[in-house]
Each structure stands twice: as structure tokens, then as C-alpha cells.
Chains A and B, each alone.
Chain A
Amino acid sequence: MLIEVNNLTKIYNNYVAVNKVNFKIEKNKTIGLLGPNGCGKTTSIGMLLGLITPTEGKILINNKNLNDYKRDDILSQLNFASPYVELPKKLTVKQNLQIYGRLYGVKNLDKCINEVSCDLDIKKFFERKTGELSSGQKNRVALAKSLINKPKILLLDEPTASLDPDIGDFIRSYLQEYKSKNEVTILLASHNMNEVERLCDSIIMMKSGKIVDRGTCEQLTKKHGRNNLEETFLKLVRGSDEFQ
């Protein structure tokens, strides 16, 4: 077991953002976190990243409580990418990767940057400022940054949001290839059902801060009598709280 979340709760004043959430993620699995906007996905990721203090509950990584870890011990095993979080715009791609490589204490940094840059095809705009890149290029750079430390746990928040189908497919293919070559557990929050179907071993469905269902894509579509994940998602989101 790599990640175990027990009774995780976050309450802001009187608003319950995440409500007694429990899940386990096995090593080297990719888990999809699905749910409508405001259902608590980002808050849950924030708690896993140590950016948000849970009101209640605990997060265990390899059976060790996240709160008992030294901050930098746990964070060196994790990384995160999201199109809503940017790298310094005025720095070149190369400079950003060098800085984050150093912050993550990466050994053989130049070799590592070279590898990830070739894989993600970002070398051709290495010397350009990050703020001058297109959305697709920025996403690939953000992904390169998130893989610079070869994380054991990778948290991805809508990694292909606002990308054209070609670049989106490139990123999804790369993630599949990367996972086949490296030991990494991925938690993927996404609104792209095809992406989730393609990449995830199993899915956690959230609504109003709670987990409303979980299982593999096939299990969920079959259980809810739908043809695909998108229809299953809509049923769960639009329906009453029948599954809670």
C-alpha cells in the first residue's frame, strides 16, 4: 500500500469541502479522481501535497502518517502538475528546470533534464521564456518539472485541460509510456472521461465532498447500467444522493 487516506475531512468555517473521505492506492496504480467542479478534488490533492491542513483524518504514505514526516522528506517523493499552477514566466524553460531540479535535490541534474526534455520534446524551446510558450508547450514543461525528481507519487490536476487533441494525446501517451518504465503511483483529477478511461486502473467518484462510488471503469459503467464513463459520470452527478 502506498497511499491510505482515512476519514479525511476539511471544513472551512461551516462549509464542508471534503467529508470523511477514505481510499487506498496500491503501488504503481493510476487512480482517477472524478467529480463536478467544487466537489473537493483539489482540496483533497492539496491535503495530499501538504498544502492544506486537514480538519480531521489522516494520510498515510507507506504506512507513515504524513503529519509525522519532516516536510521535505515526504515532498521529495511527490510531485504535482496542473495547468492552473505556473512556473516563473520570465525564466527560460531550462532555467526553471535547473531551479526545480536543485530544489528537489536531483543528482546528475543535467542528464536528468536532458532525458525528460527529449522525452517530452521540449528541447527546441529550451531557451525561451516560459511565459512566451503556448498552452501545450507550457503543459509539457509543467509535466517535465513534475517528473524531474522521478517521483514515487505523481499528482496531476487536469493535465490536458485546454489542450488540442493532438497535444492531449501526446501527453496521455507519454504518461502511459512513462508509467510502463518507472515505478510511479498516479492520482489523476480530470474532467476528460476518455483520458480517465485510457489511463486509470480504477476511479474514485466524488460529489459534494464525499466519495459516491468507486471501481474500475467497466465495473462502474456496468453497475450503473450506462454505456460509457461519461454517461455514468452524468448519472452520478445529476442524480440525487442515492449513492452516498
Chain B
Amino acid sequence: MNFNKIYALGLRHLYLIMNSFPRVLDLIYWPTVQIFLWGFISKFFTLSSDYYSNTVGIILTAAILYDFLFRASISFNMMFLEEIWSRNFTNLFIAPIKIREIIASLTLTAILRTLIGLVPAVLISIPLFGVSILKLGFPLIFLLISLYLFGISLGLFVTSGLLRFGPSFENIAWASLFFLAPLGCIYYPIEILPHILQIFAKGLPLVHIFEEMRNMLINEQVNYYNIYKSILISLVYFVLGVIVFYASYYGAKKRGTLINMGE
């Protein structure tokens, strides 16, 4: 791995953000709207239900964590799509940069894009709704790692699709997370799902992450076994994502689609 090259590719996306104020605004806008929306919805639930003693805190924390996953995955996809939209694909793939360096750069730069969007939203939720995800304490780091790994894995699957099917796969990039969200049990316990779907849901790290988040906030206990399990599952998806990405890259070289990939 050449870190100068990883940095160079990261710099390309950093310049892109820095050169455009509307881009920064766009990154911040959607997570903030999400926080407002779910904050008010959960406030309404608090008035109408006594299921949780801390409805606002639980729903809003879930919304923030889900948005972290969403932003991580979308950031990865967006950076890859930027190369297609700008017709820079050929220049990138003839540069002496290894495929693993491209993946590493996109993975690391996605953190920056994710944080630009999420930090303001997290800060807003503290004074506005009295909710801070930092209340989850030290285990929050592990939950974020697991979410990030899974988000990047989904990004890898989608970008592999872009390599395989071209820009027409773009719509799937946007839809990918909405497809998995119902099985992720983000806002409700897994028992709500029909039995057959529970089996599929357990194969996703999201269930373990969000079940554990609720456990931590409701029972004020931490079950590290669930957290580690979620990281392990995310890691499996990540490795699978990397393999699929490599396979798609070599497939694209065989089909000759790398040379004329564009809008």
C-alpha cells in the first residue's frame, strides 16, 4: 500500500467538497432533516405511549446510527459515481494505483464525508431534544466500527454492480440501503418480524447492533457478545465485498467496459 497514492485520491474528493459550498450544505442537510423529523415523531410517541421510558432517546439514537450507516455507504458510492460522472474513469484506472489502494482511499475518505454530514446533526440533537449518542459510552466506538464496515461493504457491492453493469446501476446505489432497512430492525425489536424474516435478519449485523443499542439504553447494560458478533458479521460482508469488487474489476477488463465508462 502506498499511502501517498491513497492520500492523493482522498485529496481529489476533499478538493471536490472544498470547492463547492452547496456540496457541503447537501452533506449536512439530509442528516439534519432526519434528526428533526425523528426527533418530533419520537416526541409525539412519548406523549402517546409509555412503551419506553426514553422513547425520544431510543428512536433518535437509532436514527443517528442508521444515518451513520447510510452516509458511509452513500459516500462510498458517491465518490465512485463522481469518477463516472466526470468521465475520469479511464484516467483513474490507468494511473499506477493498486485496486486495494483505490478501495482503501474510498473507505477512508468516506469517513470524512460521513462525519461532515453527521456531526452537526448529532450536535443539534443535544440541545433540541436532550439526546446525545455519546450516552452509549465506550461501546459506541464498536457499534460505529461495525456500522461503518457494513456501510462500506454495501458500497463495495454497489460499486461492483456499477463496474459490471455501468452507470445504469446507479439507481440501485440509492435503493440499496432502503432495501435492507426493514430487516435491520432499526426502530423495532426483531420479534416484530415474521419468523422467516427473523432468520434472514439475524444474518445482518444491523439487528445485533440496534438490539444492543436498545439494550444499552433501556437496561443500561452492555452485552459485548452481541457487539463482537455484529463486527464479525460486518467483517465477513466486507471481505465478501472486496472479493466481489475484484471480480467485477477483472470482469470489466474482459468486457472492455472500463475504457468507455461515462455518463
Residues of A within 8 A of B (CB): 10, 12, 17, 42-43, 46, 49-53, 71-76, 78-80, 82, 84-92, 95, 98-100, 102-105, 129, 131, 145
Indicate if the CB atoms of B255 and A103 lie closer than 8 Å: no
Residues of A within 8 A of B86 (CB): 86-90, 131
List residues 1-32 of chain B with CB under 8 A from any CB of chain A.
2, 4-5, 7-9, 11-12, 15-16, 19-20
Pairs A-B, 8 closest by C-beta atoms: A102-B8, A72-B96, A75-B96, A76-B96, A86-B87, A103-B95, A46-B259, A85-B90
Q: Which residue of B lies closest to A102 (CB)?
A: B8
State whether A98 and B82 are in contact (beta carbons under 8 Å apart), knowing that A75-B94, A78-B94 are contacts in the complex: no
**Can you offer 16 A-B residue contacts whose CB atoms are under 8 A?**
A51-B256, A52-B254, A53-B254, A72-B98, A74-B96, A86-B87, A86-B88, A87-B86, A87-B91, A89-B86, A90-B20, A91-B12, A91-B15, A91-B16, A95-B15, A145-B91
Q: Which residue of A lies closest to B9 (CB)?
A: A103
Inter-chain CB contacts under 8 Å: number: 112
Residues of B within 8 A of A103 (CB): 5, 8-9, 95-97
State whether A52 and B258 are in contact (beta carbons under 8 Å apart), knowing that A85-B91, A90-B19, A129-B19 are contacts in the complex: yes
Q: Which interface residue of B2, B96, B258 has the most chain A CB atoms within 10 A?
A: B96
Residues of A within 8 A of B8 (CB): 99-100, 102-103
Q: Which interface residue of B83, B86, B99 has the most chain A CB atoms within 10 A?
A: B86
Indicate if the CB atoms of B250 and A102 lie closer than 8 Å: no
| Interface residue? B135 (CB, 8 A) | no
Q: Which interface residue of B5, B95, B99, B258 has the most chain A CB atoms within 10 A?
A: B95
Indicate if the CB atoms of A102 and B15 lie closer than 8 Å: no
Indicate if the CB atoms of A102 and B11 lie closer than 8 Å: yes
Interface of chain B: mostly helix, strand, loop or mixed: helix
Count the B residues whose beta carbon is within 8 Å of the partner chain — how many? 34
Indicate if the CB atoms of A71 and B91 lie closer than 8 Å: no
Indicate if the CB atoms of B256 and A43 lie closer than 8 Å: yes
Q: Which residue of B lies closest to A91 (CB)?
A: B15
| Interface residue? B93 (CB, 8 A) | yes
Complex CA distance for A95 and B18, rounded to whole angstroms: 11
Residues of A within 8 A of B9 (CB): 99, 103
Indicate if the CB atoms of B91 and A12 lie closer than 8 Å: no
Residues of A within 8 A of B2 (CB): 72, 105
Complex CA distance for A72 and B91, rounded to whole angstroms: 13
State whether A52 and B253 are in contact (beta carbons under 8 Å apart), knowing that A102-B11, A103-B9 are contacts in the complex: yes
List residues 84-131 of chain B with CB under 8 A from any CB of chain A.
86-91, 93-99
Q: Which interface residue of A51, A53, A76, A104 has the most chain B CB atoms within 10 A?
A: A51
Complex CA distance for A103 and B258, rounded to whole angstroms: 18
State whether A88 and B12 are in contact (beta carbons under 8 Å apart), knowing that A51-B93, A104-B95 are contacts in the complex: yes
Complex CA distance for A102 and B9, rounded to whole angstroms: 9
Residues of B within 8 A of A87 (CB): 86, 88, 91
Residues of A within 8 A of B96 (CB): 71-76, 103-105
Q: Which interface residue of A74, A85, A87, A145 has the most chain B CB atoms within 10 A?
A: A85
Residues of A within 8 A of B94 (CB): 49-51, 75, 78-80
State whether A105 and B87 are in contact (beta carbons under 8 Å apart), knowing that A52-B253, A53-B254 are contacts in the complex: no
Indicate if the CB atoms of B87 and A85 lie closer than 8 Å: yes
Residues of A within 8 A of B16 (CB): 88, 90-91
Residues of B within 8 A of A71 (CB): 96, 98-99
Q: Which residue of B lies closest to A82 (CB)?
A: B90
Complex CA distance for A17 and B257, rounded to whole angstroms: 14
Residues of A within 8 A of B250 (CB): 53
Q: Which interface residue of A12, A50, A103, A131 has the most chain B CB atoms within 10 A?
A: A103
Indicate if the CB atoms of B90 and A80 lie closer than 8 Å: yes
Residues of A within 8 A of B255 (CB): 12
State whether A52 and B98 are in contact (beta carbons under 8 Å apart), knowing that A87-B88, A103-B9 are contacts in the complex: no
Taking the closest CB of chain A, its distance from the CB of B75, in whole angstroms, is 16
Complex CA distance for A46 and B88, rounded to whole angstroms: 15
State whether A105 and B12 are in contact (beta carbons under 8 Å apart), knowing that A75-B95, A86-B86, A87-B88 are contacts in the complex: no
Indicate if the CB atoms of B88 and A88 lie closer than 8 Å: yes
Residues of B within 8 A of A95 (CB): 11-12, 15, 19
Complex CA distance for A134 and B128, rounded to whole angstroms: 49
Q: Which residue of A lies closest to B253 (CB)?
A: A53
Complex CA distance for A50 and B92, rounded to whole angstroms: 12
State whether A52 and B259 are in contact (beta carbons under 8 Å apart), knowing that A80-B90, A85-B90, A87-B91 are contacts in the complex: yes
